[in-house]
Structure 1
């Protein structure tokens, strides 16, 4: 049933993307204004056929990924009707619904705002973007993704089969577990962005190159550099104070989780294809910090949410967390 709803929803979005521009094509300039600068003034154009084809292709990819995620999540053994798939299946299903809702509204927002901006314009340079367009293509899709993931969370259901791993601590014994993980590809991208920024700075200061292309490139490289610094590596530390997850080579910022908030922990195999890629994926209550596929430490909150982080030796870390949680509940 879930697969059918996802398929019908995607088909409806596809129909609108095709029929809307075709229904008013006689009132649209050729080419269309498809890119906008400051003040909602158009600064780029494309033929109607190219615009529709590109938008359809982008949406089709998102739709297919969403269908695959929903299908694989629903196919998990034991995830019957009305129950949220646990573990990777649950994450896949939530990601699929979030992508379907957010991607569908994003595609519709782009289509509707572009058509209305160009409607009855003498040429593409006369098109004007509606004031609500940024809201339609940014805020609304993100809100829809959050709502879809939240509504699809289902009840709190323990993902691992059997008892979660644990170990025995002698009275008064203090134990610490630390593990690091890094992604060489993200690290390489970060280094490349840093080198490109340095080159761009030299070119600008020496006057060899300047102008709009360089000015547009610097913000993009800066975002890649900052994102890479914070997502190329992570360190997880488990102590009697709780769990601390530090990001980047300096271990900052730090995400701290007190033992009072933790119900249990376990190791689990997760891969980027299951959670939507690398980096911080998902939403609060069902997020995965994915730096490399394979062993992940999954933490279940007492409120029912989960946080997973890809890290080496996750089983030992989960065992210590469970032992400390049990020790705290007895004290």
Structure 2
């Protein structure tokens, strides 16, 4: 059982790395080769292999990157698509990357986009590779099984008049690195835009990648605090935003082993198990409040659950 959980964890890491790698290629490749062509690139070819459509550089970067971000978000958050997530992400990633490589290669060393080379061979190779990747992704698809849910969590005996506070912090260095990579893409776009015509809408590339970097960074670490008022979960290196649950609203708390495969990946996840802040595979603190479940990756979750249950339940009267 442990080996299966480990393989699922590795698969989730592979998915995150694949998504980040394809995104970096779609953005960095045309920006890195921009000196090999002018500001417009041929992006569409007619039946006889002649270019008949073009886009400005910023659009040639933003359009495939936006399509990829939407595809990844749909595959991750749309529950009906989870079974085919591997096939969708692998095949579409190969297709978009192959198209971007073919477009950049065809436009290199041509001052006018009308003179761009043909992409027929590259298009055929890309379609074949994407089809093979789709088949491989379908074979690799797995449906995770949700663990059985216990009905009652542990309790902690707290002497009368004594107050206790529980603190924990969890950080995922890979999510922090991913946030840095996305932020570097935004910075690269900013530097490229600084040396070109200021009227060009490079901000259409800078703004979404900056927002994505900040979002991933906010989901890369958590600080958890349990005290008499209830439970506080603070996100990111700055401890903001903060989610709070009043002790009176918490029905129960327990410790539970969860993997990224069970909740759909890393970071802030929504799944059939409720909301999970998945920063590492293993022990999580799980609470139910107002009929909804929330889980967060923390060490010593058993003790945290026991303290929460003792705070939310009335004290036991001894004879």
So what's the TM-score if we normalise by structure 1? 0.49
- Matched residue, 2:159: 170
- Matched residue, 1:179: 168
Structure 1 residue runs without a partner (length 5+): 1-29, 32-36, 38-42, 45-57, 66-94, 104-157
Structure 2 residue runs without a partner (length 5+): 1-45, 48-54, 61-70, 86-147
- CA–CA distance in 1 between the matches of 2:241 and 2:275? 17
- Matched residue, 2:221: 233
Tell me the number of residue pairs that the alignment of Structure 1 and Structure 2 aligns.
195
Q: Cα 1:308–1:98, aligned 2, differ >3 Å: closer, same or farther?
A: farther
- Matched residue, 1:195: 184
Q: Cα 1:249–1:329, aligned 2, differ >3 Å: closer, same or farther?
A: farther
| CA RMSD after TM alignment | 4.2
Query: Aligned ranges for residues 59-70 of structure 1 at < 5 Å?
Result: none
DSSP-derived class of the 1:282 partner: strand
Q: Cα 1:293–1:172, aligned 2, differ >3 Å: closer, same or farther?
A: same
- Matched residue, 1:87: none
- CA–CA distance in 2 between the matches of 1:227 and 1:286? 20
- Matched residue, 1:207: 196
Question: 1:55-81 CA distances to partner (integer Å, 9 max, x unpaired)?
Answer: xxx89x96xx9xxxxxxxxxxxxxxxx
- Matched residue, 2:243: 255
Q: Is the 8 A contact 2:179 2:216 kept in 1?
A: yes
Query: Aligned ranges for residues 304-315 of structure 1 at < 5 Å?
Result: 304-315=291-302
- Matched residue, 1:160: 150
Question: 1:279-327 CA distances to partner (integer Å, 9 max, x unpaired)?
Answer: 22116982111122111100022x4321111112111111110111124
Higher relative contact order (CA 8 A, sep 6+): 2
Q: Is the 8 A contact 2:251 2:312 kept in 1?
A: yes
Deviation of the 1:194 alpha carbon: 2.8
- CA–CA distance in 1 between the matches of 2:293 and 2:192? 47
Question: 1:149-207 CA distances to partner (integer Å, 9 max, x unpaired)?
Answer: xxxxxxxxx9226x521211010111000111111111001122333333332332233
- CA–CA distance in 1 between the matches of 2:315 and 2:269? 31
